[in-house]
Amino acid sequence: MAVELCVALARPLERVLERVRLHGLEHLRAAMARHGRVLVLTAHLGNWELLAIAHRLTGFPLAVVVRPLDARALNALAERLRRKAGVELLTKRGALRAVLSALHRARMVGVLLDQNASRREGVFVPFFGRPASTSKSLALLATRTRTPVLPIFTCREADGGHRVTIHPPLEAPETPDAERAIIELTMRCNEAIEAAVRRTPEQWLWIHRRWRTRPGAERGAAG
């Protein structure tokens, strides 16, 4: 992945995009035509940083909620690539106002949702058969702003190219209970990520403790 990022930085973006195949663009176009904005659900799958470049194939501007990568060298490469691709970067801490602004300005706003969330930020929903504390921020934004959530994932193919797949919008829960709607939509987000990981499990960057935060009863039993 680091080598691919270096190559992407050294070459014109047009050359890099020759190795990217985009599928499902009709789903994005339909959502943007109807709503004027979308929330993009993605994960640390394949070379996800190339999604920053691939957005140029869609014709729609992209903003991404980010936090610095733990590996400083890789973070520096990723940040340079995002800026080169013309992506608007929204710092994760205190990002609500910036995200709302980006949506108001007809952006796609991308969120990576496959990492452990703190007990304060997350809700427990299934992920690979275990309750996983998952950030509720994406579902909260979607339900309060009535913005569709489109799962978009990338995977590396055998010939060295990259396939970017845009899936249909996740169905919004039909319930007057706002908290229930957030939980159900977060559950659907995890289901979409799990399905993508199952297609190419070897390409999921799973080096963090995804299930670190545990439900109260289980935590008490473990302790």
Cα torsion 212, 208, 65, 176: sign:
negative
What mean pLDDT do residues 78-104 have?
86
Dist. CA 222–CA 160, nearest whole Å: 44
CB atoms inside a 10 Å sphere around CB 222: 7
Give CA angle at 162 (8, 138), nearest 5°: 90
Q: Highest mean pLDDT range out of 9-18, 121-130, 174-183, 205-214?
A: 121-130
φ, ψ for residue 154 (rounded to 5)? -125, 150
Confidence band for 8, pLDDT divided at 50, 70 and 90: confident
- Per-residue pLDDT tens over the stretch 145-168: 999 999 999 999 999 899 999 999
Q: Residue ranges of the domains in the chain?
A: 2-214
pLDDT at 222 over 70: no
Fold for the domain defined by 2-214: Glycerol-3-phosphate (1)-acyltransferase (3.40.1130)
pLDDT of residue 122: 95
Dist. CA 213–CA 119, nearest whole Å: 7
